[in-house]
A and B are shown apart, each in its own frame.
Chain A
Amino acid sequence: MDRGDHPAIVARGIVKRFEETVALDGLDLEVPSGSVLGLLGPNGSGKTTLVRVLTTLTPPDEGTAAVEGHDVVHQAAAVRRRIGLAGQFSAVDDHLTGYENLEMAGRLYHLDRQTAARRARELLERFQLSDAASRLAKGYSGGMRRRLDLAASLVAHPSVLFLDEPTTGLDPRSRLDLWGVIRDLVRDGTTLLLTTQYLEEADQLADSIVVIDQGRVIAKGTAPELKSRVGGDVLTGTFASATDLERARRALAPLAAGDAQEDPVTNELRLPVGSMGSRALLEAVRLLDNERVEVLDLAINRPSLDDVFLALTGHAASNAPAVPTKRRRRGRQATAASLGSETR
């Protein structure tokens, strides 16, 4: 706005209440044209509500928002002609074929019959669904459904794309596939707002990240900026005994970039090591070996969403007791994968 050309998405002081709860609490947001914004937050933080406001599905109670210069409430029709939306539930029709789903979407975006047909074939090709084009979507795998759903949101060449948790519930392989597809998309200059619960995903895809919690923006910046606020990578070790744990803590002191956390029950040590990456792991192995400490498990973890949240808010990412364990475990899986690529 201060540069003359307006940003692709602007939201100012958005408030949305649902009966007792405040889903969005004075949220501000700006997404420059052609960039990718990762909207990061736990379940119930207001991500989906914000996407619904920006895609004209829910009017805000207070505040204003515009997409490509068009107000989402007063110029909703103009906004809808410019956006694509793929939600958490893939909104494909099970009883139509892949081709029919895309053709129908094209018609609803008001493409003429020939253009809708051509566009459907193009997208099926691009998303590697050509072989399944004439099969009912009912028989598609989870990954195929998401790809079809994503394709449907692209039928009318939207200039702004909203993806609400596009990979939630996908297996790691399908997730990687979808990341590739999304990367190709934004290379064409599409503005993308992507919501996710995974720091890793935002890190992989987004130019900048906005972290929201309880309907408010609590941090924004690039992935490295956010991670540095957490204190970088964390070295996690599990040891054979309490004595080993204690000796490990002393041995690893030279690597510490912050206070170590010890768990006397599991003999686990968590040590912030800054941005040393995998070098910290090699160094740790050397130091522990020198001291003959008995190590059961040793890993370097990138900060998870929980770590970011803990650092930013002082509370864990989720209020529901069952979820954090699950999320932390997922965070670790992603970590193992990324460690592999770092070492190479």
Chain B
Amino acid sequence: MTTTTLGAHHDDEPGVVERARWALADAQVMTRRYLLQLIRIPTVLFFSLIQPVMFVLLFRYVFGGAIHTAGVNYAEYMLPGAIAQTASFASFGTAIGLSYDLGRGLIDRVRSMPAARFAVLAGRLSSDVVRSLAVVLVLIAVGYGVGFRFDNGAGPAILMILLSVLFGLAICTIAAFVGLALKDPEAVQSFGLVWLFPLTFVSGAFVPVATMPGWLQAIARPNPVTLVVAVMRSLAYGGPITPHLLESLAWIAGILLVFAPLAVRAFKRAS
């Protein structure tokens, strides 16, 4: 028996434009949902906002005095690093949120609806971008309180913010894949610690890479966090931008090209 004998209708398939319009609307609905969650779950709000501020203060006042950065005060040196780290750590929320939705049957629910299949994924990542942007702005405000200044004008400052958010999105895409593949929120959380701490600390985010032992420098120098933070510093207070910018963008593009399809595949398979 084939499907055609079961009485196929083709009466109401919407066109491509219509479908794209709905897909956008669906992603918007999900974005709103995740942003509402953000406001309403105190622990999420804490980890998204208070923890990064705490890091800035800890590094500025506890470790800052012991770290020597040539030609620039430590507040200025460290803040782009703290921002990049925060953008990376935000991916905890992505991974845990998706694995939680999966476990609760929310993703299945949405997938049984006429909503665009990837509305959940797209909405999650857009909400993460909005969240990153908000947290970055808060960190900059805190930075101004502890001695950070944009010495290079408004244009580069805006570019720095955009670069950090874009980098955060790339990391969140990795996390989306991890969350959907591992499925268990607790496993996802532990796994996040395992890769995010080395990624952000074995880098030039908080200390000059040259102060590390040689073998560690070999890991820290090509680390995308090192590269992105170097570009961010140049944008914030001047210096050569181009070489590291190309490398940073290559990293971001590479991560998105590899992990966006993987996340989509994990989403399709997830049940």
Contact = CB atoms under 8 A, between A and B. Distances in A.
Interface stretch (A80-88, A118-126, A272-280, A311-319): A80-88
A104 interface: yes
A342 to B, nearest CB: 37
B6 A93 contact: no
A33 to B, nearest CB: 12
A12 B1 contact: yes
A64 interface: yes
A80 B113 contact: yes
Contacts, number: 99
B22 A110 contact: yes
B3 interface: yes
Given A6-B7, A95-B40, A104-B29, A55 B112 contact: yes
Contacts of B26: 107-108
A71 B3 contact: yes
A91 B106 contact: yes
B248 to A, nearest CB: 35
Nearest to A58: B271
Interface of B: 1-3, 6-9, 12-13, 22, 25-26, 29, 33, 36-37, 40-41, 103-106, 108-115, 119, 271
B108 A57 contact: yes
Contact of A74 (B3, B7, B37, B105): B3
15 contacts: A57-B271, A64-B6, A66-B8, A69-B9, A70-B9, A71-B8, A77-B13, A77-B114, A89-B103, A91-B105, A91-B109, A105-B113, A107-B25, A108-B29, A156-B114
Interface string A4-46: 0010001011000000000000000000000000000000000
B111 A75 contact: no
Given A6-B6, A75-B8, A104 B114 contact: no
A74 B8 CA distance: 10
B111 to A, nearest CB: 6
A123 B216 CA distance: 61
B33 A109 contact: no
A78 B105 CA distance: 22
Contact of B119 (A64, A69, A95, A108): A108
A136 interface: yes
A69 B271 contact: no
Listed from nearest, the 6 A-B pairs whose CB atoms lie closest are A69-B7, A91-B109, A66-B6, A71-B3, A108-B115, A91-B105
Interface in A304-336: none
A152 B6 contact: no
A56 to B, nearest CB: 7
A325 B12 CA distance: 50
A278 to B, nearest CB: 41
A105 B29 CA distance: 9
Contact of A70 (B2, B8, B41, B119): B8
A91 B100 CA distance: 11
B33 A96 contact: yes
A66 B40 contact: no
Given A12-B1, A95-B41, A109 B12 contact: no
Contacts of A78: 9, 12-13
A262 interface: no
